[in-house]
Amino acid sequence: MRLLRFTTPPVCILFKILIGSIISVARGDHHPLNDTLPIHRHHGVANTAFAQAVAYTYKVASQPIHRLVKPKPFTLEEWRSRTTGGLFDRDRVKLAEIYSNANSVFEYGLGESTDIAGHVGVPRYMGVDSDSTYVRDVRDRSPSHFRFYFADVGQTDAWGHPTNPNLKKTYFDYQVAPLMLERKPFDVYMIDGRWRIACALLSFLHASAHNAILRHTKVLIHDYYSPIWTVKTVQQQVCGRKKEKGCDKNGRRKGRDYTIVEQVANLVDHSGAWLAVFQRKNETSDDDIYALYQKVMNHTM
């Protein structure tokens, strides 16, 4: 899919204009949200009763809970919610550590990571998945303040992979629309679903568009294998069992070379297994990220 290049800063195109058309906030001294959310005007949405309804209901729905006590400790010995979704114990420990220190988490792809977020009591949470069964099952076992979004990408097979990844609606429905709902940045963006690099890049842009402190924003990518960080025993687990099918000659999983993200972000931490932690490079601009996004937005893995 070929996109036009814009001279206007693309982060404005992706979020400040696009989001503004959906959840802009009405001006008016009588309205209780005047001092809590910025006002945007696009296609006549602002200064309407609908805009007031959107602003008020979003404020109520996204209100984080307050941690009255320290996050619940996470220990592998007591963890009873292991799934077959691909997390190693090292991934679980690293996720619990990061989530315990986060006030807000956004997840592309639901599953055991969502259970860990619920276990440690993340105050503000939003997650999206392309499999309606995943959304239902995870919702039913999660804290009531967690919010979930089902992304319609057409029919799917195992792990929510779209059977027709070229559907025109998929990029918007999965990659962009969930973030459009969010008027505030997140401390952590966890990428463990489809279109991973595209979603990671949009996460950086979302944080930037909402004035996040970039050095405090973490983007996590699961299944990011790097031998620099991986100990020998884990390397054997990752690629030793089915090397001829699962990995290339460099030990990376075939079809899942996510290292392109390092053009705009620094790999700052790793679980020692499949989970990598990134922060945006200081010299990277929104234009740089958007240009890379245009190249990878249709990479479904």
- Mind listing the pLDDT tens digit for each residue in 13-68? 445 544 444 434 333 344 443 444 444 444 456 679 998 898 899 999 988 887 65
Q: Which pLDDT belongs to residue 24?
A: 41
CB 129 within 8 Å of CB 160: yes
6: pLDDT confidence band, cut at 50, 70 and 90? very low
Which residues, including other chains, have CB under 8 Å from residue 142's CB and lie 6 or more apart?
A: 114, 115, 117, 118, 125, 148
> Mean of the pLDDT values across residues 174-178?
94
75: pLDDT confidence band, cut at 50, 70 and 90? confident
100: pLDDT confidence band, cut at 50, 70 and 90? very high
pLDDT at 236 over 60: no
Mean pLDDT lowest among 81-95, 136-150, 219-233: 219-233
pLDDT at 103 over 90: yes
pLDDT at 115 over 90: yes
**Three-class SS state of 189:** strand
Range list for CATH 3.40.50.150 in the chain: 89-296
114 closest CA partner among 83, 159, 89? 83
Pairing mode of beta strands 104-108, 188-191: parallel
Per CATH, the number for 89-296 is 3.40.50.150
Q: Which pLDDT belongs to residue 156?
A: 78
Inter-CA distances, 105 with 93, 128, 142, 172, 178, Å? 16, 12, 14, 21, 13
List the Cα angle 75/238/74 in 5-degree steps: 10
97: pLDDT confidence band, cut at 50, 70 and 90? very high
Q: Which pLDDT belongs to residue 298?
A: 84
Structure-model confidence comparison of residues 228 and 64, the more confident one:
64
pTM comes to 0.77
